[in-house]
Amino acid sequence: MITITDVTKSYGDETVLGPVTGQIAKGGVTSLVGPNGAGKSTLMTIIGRLLEPSEGSVTVGGLDVQAAKSRDLAQMMSILRQENHITARLTVRELVAFGRFPHSQGRLTDEDHRHVDLALDFLGLGPLAERFLDQLSGGQRQRAFVAMVLAQDTEYVLLDEPLNNLDMKHAVLMMRRLRDAADELGKTIVIIVHDINVAAAYSDRIIAMRDGTIAYSGTAAEIMRSDILSEVFDTPIEVHELAGRPIAVFDPMAQSVTHDAVRTDEESAVASV
């Protein structure tokens, strides 16, 4: 369980987050959604102890992330940021092997190698394992970083936009992998996703953020409503039932939240906020 208590983050006089209080239950996939600047990444980096909150505290699995030993936390929780810049020239396998550091402190055992192979296979990186990162496309590199975090084999996995740079096929595969990790391995996965329909299709819970606070949270069915999404994203969004799933669509011509025209499917586009 992740418990967030009165967390705020301010830079100077400007408060960019909070106060936020809430819980993320153990197990399953939780998606953070919301417009740009809503505080999703800030909240996630505070949970992942990469950023110190101005006020408040966060516990993950009972450990206070600011007070607990970094190494103990690293065995329980892993976090991947959006931007990952590395000066050294590493192969995919070397990068993924870094995920085992919290367990082996750099001296890899057979068990560690097994986890590395598993993570590489899990994301289909086997054929690319000996490639250097600078020889990969953006999407392949993204998968290599996710593989590193999965090799860390932690109970809690926080991913900031893991679908960055991925095409539709790989985005779907990535989400299915994460779903599998939650269902089969019992991991707690928290992700930031921009595509609300992807969030709805794969998440157990959705947390919708706006203006630095949690606006709504609930199951996909509870959040996928026209009024809620239009308010959160400040743009008219309709939710239609399609193939048994709620699908959010935006109005390409819309200027404001109030619009009345009933559009045909051809005129609407699937929301990709």
Partner 1 sequence: MPRLDLETPDMDAAAVAASPSRRVRFPAPHIPQLSPKARLVLVAALVVVAAACYLFLFIRGSFAFSIDRRLTMLGAMTIAAFTQGLGTVVFHTVTNNRILTPAVMGFDSLYTLMQTLMVFFFGGAALAQTEGIPKLLTQTALMVVFATILYRWLFSGRFGSLFVLLLVGVVFGMAFESLSTFVQRLLDPTDYDLLATRLFGRMSNVEAGYLPIAAAICVVVGVLLWRRRHRLDTLLLGRETATNLGVSYTRELTTMLVVIALLVALSTALVGPMTFFGFIVAILSYQFAGTHRHAYVLPMAFLLGMLTLVAGQFLLQHVVGSSGMLSVVIEFVGGILFIALLLRKGKL
Tally of CA atoms within 13 A in the half-sphere of 118 that contains its CB: 15
Identity of the residue, 47 or 196, whose beta carbon is nearer to partner 1 in the bound complex: 47
Please classify residue 87 by burial: count the beta carbons closer than 10 Å to its beta carbon, then call 0-12 exposed, 13-18 middle and 19+ buried. Answer: exposed
Cβ at position 153, least distance to partner 1 in Å: 12
Cβ at position 176, least distance to partner 1 in Å: 8
Identity of the residue, 134 or 266, whose beta carbon is nearer to partner 1 in the bound complex: 134
Cβ at position 37, least distance to partner 1 in Å: 20
The region, left, alpha or beta by phi > 0 then psi within -120 to 50, assigned to residue 33 is beta
What's the Cα-to-Cα distance from 41 to each of 103, 138, 159, 216, 221, rounded to whole Å? 27, 20, 10, 17, 24
Cβ at position 15, least distance to partner 1 in Å: 16
Contacting positions for partner 1 (CB under 8 A): 45, 48-50, 70-75, 78-81, 84-90, 94, 98-99, 101-102, 105-107, 118, 121-128, 134-140, 143, 149, 152, 170, 173, 177, 180, 184-185
Identity of the residue, 81 or 194, whose beta carbon is nearer to partner 1 in the bound complex: 81
Identity of the residue, 16 or 173, whose beta carbon is nearer to partner 1 in the bound complex: 173
Identity of the residue, 173 or 201, whose beta carbon is nearer to partner 1 in the bound complex: 173
Rounded to whole angstroms, the Cα distance separating 257 from 234 reads 7
Q: Answer yes or no: are the C-beta atoms of 71 and 154 closer than 8 Å.
A: no
Q: Answer yes or no: are the C-beta atoms of 151 and 100 closer than 8 Å.
A: yes
Cβ at position 251, least distance to partner 1 in Å: 33
